[in-house]
Amino acid sequence: MIETTRDALLGGRVMLDQPRARGLRAGLDAVLLAAAIPARPGDRVIEAGCGSGAAFLCLSARIPGVDILALEREPEMAALATANAQANGCVATIVEGDVADRALGGRLGAFRHGFANPPYWPGGTVPPEALRASATHEHGAALADWARFLAAAICIGGTATLILPTARFDAGIAALRGAGFGSLCLLPLAPRERVAAKRVLLQGRRGGRGPARVLPPFTLHGADHAFTAAAEAILREAGPLPM
């Protein structure tokens, strides 16, 4: 049984039961990832590795009417995501499965957009708890497997969006390109002005042939450590983060 806490996202638009354990808790990354999905009402969208459901719930709160399917390997987390979707009145289908099963992506149907906050570390010290380890370290599926899974599920012209530490943005770009995504766009997420970004958002279009782009950094905090007005619009008011 997972010990959980109840937390509010998007200024209370989303109420989330999530694990108390460090390494499994959703926060800024999930909200920013959801804000970057260029979906419209009625679009089919797939999330790979949904955890407790924070990202797809934020997307649903921002774009009512989006058709969501979320994949999660860990049964306990899939059950938590299902309960959170029901509690928030979000119509979403949660499927237990592994992105290492590339054929599964094709069987789930054609999606306009896909996104993930994948495990990103290929090595190093692995947390002793199994759920934490699966959330942060590649375990049976590398970034390339996540990109190939999304490519199998997303239609030509659709987008895939990842959020990653800056130390892994090169691997993320290689994974998306290797899976057939082009027109790549990188958005650095900077804690403050003139401070190096710690996270990046990567977005590619399946079959895209446009030039790669690096956008100006999106700054989260001002000099007083409070969120910037632009960040508040996303984190509190469910605004979009165009890429």
Per-residue pLDDT tens over the stretch 1-27: 688 999 999 999 999 999 987 666 788
CATH number of the domain enclosing 51: 3.40.50.150
- Span 125-164, pLDDT tens digits: 454 455 554 554 446 669 999 999 999 999 999 999 999 9
Q: Is residue 111 part of a domain?
A: yes
Q: Is residue 108 part of a domain?
A: yes
Which residues form the domain of 176?
Answer: 4-20+27-235
In the numeric block, which tokens belong to residue 200?
């990046």
> What are the distances in angstroms from CA 235 to CA 83, 120, 240?
23, 24, 10
Q: Which of 26, 24, 6 is nearest to 16 (CA)?
A: 6
User: What is the structure's pLDDT at 128?
Assistant: 46
Q: Is residue 242 part of a domain?
A: no
Q: Is residue 71 part of a domain?
A: yes
Q: Which of 38, 45, 88 is nearest to 69 (CA)?
A: 45
Instruction: Give yes or no for residue 211 having a pLDDT over 60.
Output: yes
In the numeric block, which tokens belong to residue 112?
């306009």
Overall domain count for the chain: 1
- Span 93-125, pLDDT tens digits: 999 999 999 789 889 989 999 999 998 556 544
Q: Which amino acid is at 31?
A: V
C-beta of residue 110 within 8 angstroms of C-beta of residue 155: yes
Q: Is residue 202 part of a domain?
A: yes
Q: Is residue 167 part of a domain?
A: yes
Mean pLDDT of the chain: 91
